[in-house]
Amino acid sequence: MRLIKTRIKNQEHEVIYIEYQDAVPHSVVTKSYISNAKKPYWRTTQWDVFANDGDSENLMIYESGSGGEPTDISTPHYIESYKGASYWMGLGASFNSIPSNIIKLARPFNLGKNGDTIFNPFDICERTYSSEYCELCGHHSTEFCFEHKYDDENGDPRYIHNNEYAD
């Protein structure tokens, strides 16, 4: 398997880890070389993938954090009854402990349709700078859920039905 690369903000990133739920990307880790630091180093970036408004044909990818080493990826742990968890990991990457109830793949899933061969989640997902989760809708969205939430006078999100704070 050749390297999976993508360009983000004029910087080359290599995809080193893809976690899937039911063969759909769920989280991705990339690494990029920080050459202009006093002591150049590799930095990882974590990405969350979600179906926008629950639409599995509209996958979004959101940068959820960065930092750390390619050899210190957060380990996935799934409950025993869930059988749809799998992952692919590139050379030089490793977990910080032992994963549980997840299948290791020899190569990433082909994400292409109509005979296309696509392994890179960045090629099928739209990049977004926001991710909102609505507990009542039960899914993530790129927009604030005005159907179920409002901002109070202090700018804090609350649920319309009971005025509780919304995370």
Per-residue pLDDT of the chain (167 residues; tens, 9 = 90+): 678 999 988 899 999 999 999 999 999 999 999 999 999 999 999 999 988 877 788 898 999 999 999 999 999 999 999 999 999 999 999 999 999 999 999 999 999 988 899 999 999 998 887 667 667 666 667 666 566 666 888 888 777 778 777 77
User: What is the structure's pLDDT at 146?
Assistant: 62
Q: Tell me the sheet residues that pair with 13.
A: 6
Q: What is the pLDDT of residue 135?
A: 73
* Residue 124 Cα distances to 19, 29, 115, angstroms: 15, 16, 14
Neighbour count for residue 122 (Cβ, 10 Å): 21
Q: Say what the pLDDT of residue 44 is.
A: 96
pLDDT at site 49: 94
Q: Whole-prediction pTM value?
A: 0.82
3-class SS at 52?
A: helix
pLDDT for the residue 52 = 81
For residues 44 and 33, what is the distance between their CA atoms, to the nearest angstrom? 9
CA dihedral 135, 137, 140, 144 (to 10 degrees): -90
- Going by their DSSP bridges, the two strands 11-21 and 85-89 should be labelled as antiparallel
The one-letter code for the residue type at 162 is: N
Q: Is 130 exposed, middle or buried (0-12, 13-18, 19+ CB in 10 A)?
A: exposed
pLDDT at 162: 81
Residue 86 CA to residue 20 CA, distance in Å, equals 5
Report DSSP state, residue 39. Answer: S
